[in-house]
């Protein structure tokens, strides 16, 4: 998969490919690459930031067990998986503005979460047997 997706004359980083990897999405790396391309219109730049923050939150808090982390993860998960088309900055509308398929993006996040949980489970089993 290409690291860039062409959309209507603008270039939007392909976040979805990164989500299928186990490593946590490096938001800073994408931001740097994106700035290096000449950027997008200010509106799309804002929408890109609106999308990256919850992705980072999803990955940061998915496996943490304290009350604060659980609340942040749950709020983020609700925003990502809600099919709200009325609010301009809903997940569906932000993805649409950036020409990203929201269902594909969601599948990538779920795949990342499943892989991360399996990895943690494997590490815990390995610690117990060591």
Model pLDDT for residues 9-45, shown as the tens digit of each residue: 333 444 444 444 434 444 445 454 545 455 568 888 8
Reading the block at residue 119, the tokens are: 């990895």
84-106: average pLDDT: 93
Q: Is 66 exposed, middle or buried (0-12, 13-18, 19+ CB in 10 A)?
A: exposed
The answer as to whether 6 is a domain residue is no
State which residues form the domain around 116.
16-129
Q: Which residues, in sequence order, are bridge partners of residue 5?
A: 12
Helices (H), the chain: 15-19, 27-35, 42-61, 67-81, 91-97, 102-129
Note the pTM of the prediction, 2 decimals.
Answer: 0.66
How many structural domains does the chain have?
Answer: 1
Residue 7 lies in a domain: no
């Amino acid at each position: 998969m290409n690291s860039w997706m062409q959309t209507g004359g603008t270039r939007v980083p392909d976040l979805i490919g990164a989500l299928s990897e186990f490593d946590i999405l490096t938001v800073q790396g994408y931001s740097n690459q994106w700035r290096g391309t000449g950027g997008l219109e200010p509106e799309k730049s804002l929408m890109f930031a609106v999308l990256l923050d919850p992705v980072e939150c999803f990955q940061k808090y998915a496996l943490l067990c304290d009350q604060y982390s659980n609340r942040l993860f749950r709020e983020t998960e609700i925003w990502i998986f809600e099919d709200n088309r009325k609010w301009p900055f809903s997940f569906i509308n932000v993805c649409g503005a950036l020409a990203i398929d929201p269902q594909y993006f969601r599948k990538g996040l779920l795949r990342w979460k499943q892989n991360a949980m399996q990895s943690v489970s494997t590490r815990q089993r390995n610690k117990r047997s060591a």
